[in-house]
Structure 1
Amino acid sequence: MAVITILGAGVMGSAMVLPARDKGHEVRLVGTHLDQAIIDSVTRTGRHPRLNVKLPDGVKAFTHSDFGKALGDDTDLILLGVSSAGVGWAIDRLCETLKKPVPVMMITKGLMPKDGAILTLPDFVQAEVKRRTGMALDLAAVGGPCIAGELAVRRQTGVVITSRTAGLAAKLCAWLETDYYHPRVSDDMAGVELCAAFKNFFAISVGWAAGQHEKAPPSENNAFNFNAASVIFDQAIAEMMVLARYMGGTEKSVWGMPGAGDLYVTCQAGRNSRLGRQLGLGLSYAEVKAGPMKDDTIEGAELGIALAATLKQLMAAGKLAAAELPVTAALLQALTANDKLIMPWGKLHRYA
């Protein structure tokens, strides 16, 4: 039995309690400074108010100020489950609290621009902790189609775990595999992390088709707009392959669970798809953020805004083929220039 400390009591971090506890591990759930109501509920009733489930017996809940107490000197694995916007906060907590290196598996998804290039989030966290504390942490990451609410009620779920540390991904798969949670080893850190981040970005474009359908006058036969959505979905996969190759990743990750699988799930529901729908209805990104999604964190949009300058520089320098990234360019224009999202149909599928 291992001791697993989860930093971040949001839906995905907390859903990971299920396979961890079902495998017999001791689990300590630590909320961020934004999770106090969740920690209070888990402590008082055992229920997670956002997942709307009772967590397994034996879970120990801690506030962020007690992160050191939760870690103790016996934690075998830290699961980092904060939002991408909270990574800086989490790095601060790791640097001020860790007394010795502890392996970290990141549930958090994202990429970081740095010196005209793009870093995976595990590489960024590892480098920052090393720079600030001198400790070299072993980092792993999980990717693939995993909706927290489904995992929280033990629906069948498949993911991949990847790490640059030899043997770590395999060990974590063994620690977490149950009869409903099926992690598999991947040696493609760059590709998995690229897909994990960009699937949110491209889900916006697929969701746009739904808004266009609602905006259009009713057709004589009440036809849907699935053709358009599927064309955009396929183009998104092609563009993720371009980006994965640039990052040093493999196409297997893109057409597998981290890419196509996770994009499919993300397009079914969630904030990124809802943003796409609003853009498809004709609103600008600024109008959406000032109105119907004012209080929502939309990670695909935040990723695009954060990487926009770097992606444009890479395309201008020929390091990324601009002609192969028409949906990427259209999304960046909509997110950063406040233009309406217009799908460049004539430029799609011209990469062959």
Structure 2
Amino acid sequence: MSTVTLIGSGQMASALTFPLYENGHEVRLVGSPLDNEIIDRLREDNYHFNLLRTLHDGIHYYKVDQVKEALEGADVVVCGVSSFGVDWFLNEIIPMIPEGVPMISVTKGMLNFEDGRLQVYPEYWEEHLPEGSKLKIYAIGGPCTARDLADHDHSFVGFCGRDIETQEMLRDIFSTSYYHISLTTDVVGLEAAVALKNGYALGTALAIGLKNICGDDGVAHVNSKAALFQQSVKEMDDLLELVGGSHRMIMFAAGDLDVTVAGGRSRSVGQYLGEGLSMEEINEKLAGQTLEAVVIATRTAKAVKALAKAGKIDIAQFPLLMHVDKLLNEGEKVNIPWKEFETIEA
């Protein structure tokens, strides 16, 4: 069996301990600099107070100052930090990963640059590896919530990386009767797809908030939510082409969009915006929570606007993204641009 060290004890990394431990591997869970309270509680009774689940007895817990010990003898390293920990992981952890040990990430998001370029995190890390490093970086993406995974709900994700052989080894380590894994070498496509879904989950969830202010008849407004879902998939597919990903990866974007709209922080932000709350009020309501949807929507909108300014794309392709950007960053109120969604296909 293998030894797997997961760094960052957030919800998804902690949920991955279930298939790993149940496959007979030695599992080491390391807290980030922000996770000391989580690790303290896990050491008491294996209960994760953010995941709201009890982890298997027999998992080894480490605080960040013990990370070197946790990496000794590891066969696989999992990056489980949020997007705000990308540079910390690059500077503090990657140089410590033993040579020949692959790293696989559950961190979702993209970086944007002034020229409109968007870059997924595995590419960013690869570009900034220490001189002489031969580290192979892989990533996980797809429609999988941490609590459902911990509860053994059937989950179907994708692993991506530069070579299939190592991915097959990783799949053997992670896969179970309920955790199903496809493999792809399209790193940009898979990672961009599952990053974009957070911003578009926010946009789709606007309809949920609008429902709450359109009378007390209990009508679910499924048409408007479905329309926003549909527009989200269309815009995400266009963005996948823009960053150089395969159109096939839209399946992971759509699946992840569906599960994210069903619940979580991205849905909450969109719902509150639909109800008319300002971002200041939303930040107060969700104090202490990492709002990945706000980050990725803002970065993607900046990239699209830069490319449009350079004459490389037509900004009219992305009316929902532009509306979400105005809600988040210009204080506008919800006024969904339905007419701008209409197209003519000849």
TM-score, length-scaled by structure 1: 0.93
* Contact 1:79–1:107 (8 Å) recurs in 2: yes
Is 1:324 aligned to 2:317, yes or no? yes
- In the alignment, the residues of structure 2 paired with residue 148 and residue 98 of structure 1 have an alpha-carbon distance, to the nearest angstrom, of 25
Map 1:117-196 onto structure 2 (within 5 A). Answer: 117-128=117-128, 130=129, 132-196=130-194
* Contact 1:242–1:320 (8 Å) recurs in 2: no
- In the alignment, the residues of structure 2 paired with residue 173 and residue 349 of structure 1 have an alpha-carbon distance, to the nearest angstrom, of 42
Q: What residue number does 2:299 align with?
A: 306
From 199, 202, 206, the equivalent of 1:201 is 199
- In the alignment, the residues of structure 2 paired with residue 308 and residue 18 of structure 1 have an alpha-carbon distance, to the nearest angstrom, of 36
Is 1:104 aligned to 2:100, yes or no? no
Deviation at 1:231, TM superposition (A): 0.3
- Cα distance change on mapping 1:280 and 1:191 into 2, 3 Å: same
- In the alignment, the residues of structure 2 paired with residue 276 and residue 208 of structure 1 have an alpha-carbon distance, to the nearest angstrom, of 5
- In the alignment, the residues of structure 2 paired with residue 349 and residue 238 of structure 1 have an alpha-carbon distance, to the nearest angstrom, of 12
* Contact 2:163–2:185 (8 Å) recurs in 1: no
- In the alignment, the residues of structure 2 paired with residue 6 and residue 149 of structure 1 have an alpha-carbon distance, to the nearest angstrom, of 17
Q: What residue number does 1:260 align with?
A: 254
Q: What residue number does 1:230 align with?
A: 226
Q: What residue number does 1:3 align with?
A: 3
Offset from partner CA, 1:217-236 (integer Å, 9 cap, x none)? 235xx532110000000000
From 309, 326, 330, the equivalent of 1:333 is 326
* Contact 2:114–2:306 (8 Å) recurs in 1: no
- Give the secondary-structure state (helix, strand or coil) at the position aligned to 2:27: strand
Map 1:13-162 onto structure 2 (within 5 A). Answer: 13-72=13-72, 74-114=73-113, 116=115, 117-128=117-128, 130=129, 132-162=130-160
- Cα distance change on mapping 1:330 and 1:16 into 2, 3 Å: same
Equivalent position amino acid for 1:13 in 2 = A
From 249, 252, 271, the equivalent of 2:265 is 271
- Give the secondary-structure state (helix, strand or coil) at the position aligned to 2:257: helix
- In the alignment, the residues of structure 2 paired with residue 341 and residue 252 of structure 1 have an alpha-carbon distance, to the nearest angstrom, of 32
Q: What residue number does 1:350 align with?
A: 343
Deviation at 1:320, TM superposition (A): 3.2
- Cα distance change on mapping 1:51 and 1:223 into 2, 3 Å: closer
Percent same amino acid at aligned positions?
31
Deviates more, 1:28-37 or 1:231-240: 28-37
- Cα distance change on mapping 1:251 and 1:296 into 2, 3 Å: same
Equivalent position amino acid for 1:92 in 2 = N
> How big is the alpha-carbon RMSD for the aligned residues of Structure 1 and Structure 2?
1.7
* Contact 1:323–1:351 (8 Å) recurs in 2: no
* Contact 2:15–2:150 (8 Å) recurs in 1: yes
Offset from partner CA, 1:45-98 (integer Å, 9 cap, x none)? 2222222333223211100011111001x2111110111111112112224523
* Contact 1:38–1:49 (8 Å) recurs in 2: yes
Equivalent position amino acid for 1:146 in 2 = C
- In the alignment, the residues of structure 2 paired with residue 253 and residue 148 of structure 1 have an alpha-carbon distance, to the nearest angstrom, of 21
From 186, 198, 214, the equivalent of 1:216 is 214
In structure 1, list runs of 5 or more residues that go unmatched: none
- Give the secondary-structure state (helix, strand or coil) at the position aligned to 1:301: helix
* Contact 1:102–1:137 (8 Å) recurs in 2: yes
Q: What residue number does 2:240 align with?
A: 244
- Cα distance change on mapping 1:166 and 1:186 into 2, 3 Å: closer
* Contact 1:286–1:338 (8 Å) recurs in 2: no
Offset from partner CA, 1:196-253 (integer Å, 9 cap, x none)? 111110011111101111111235xx53211000000000000000000011112211
* Contact 1:301–1:335 (8 Å) recurs in 2: yes
Deviation at 1:351, TM superposition (A): 6.4
- Give the secondary-structure state (helix, strand or coil) at the position aligned to 2:270: helix
- In the alignment, the residues of structure 2 paired with residue 136 and residue 124 of structure 1 have an alpha-carbon distance, to the nearest angstrom, of 15
- Cα distance change on mapping 1:351 and 1:56 into 2, 3 Å: farther
Equivalent position amino acid for 1:246 in 2 = L
Deviation at 1:259, TM superposition (A): 1.0
* Contact 1:77–1:102 (8 Å) recurs in 2: yes
TM-score, length-scaled by structure 2: 0.94
Equivalent position amino acid for 1:275 in 2 = V
- In the alignment, the residues of structure 2 paired with residue 70 and residue 133 of structure 1 have an alpha-carbon distance, to the nearest angstrom, of 24
- Cα distance change on mapping 1:161 and 1:133 into 2, 3 Å: same
Deviation at 1:8, TM superposition (A): 0.5
* Contact 2:3–2:25 (8 Å) recurs in 1: yes
Q: What residue number does 2:279 align with?
A: 285
In structure 2, list runs of 5 or more residues that go unmatched: none
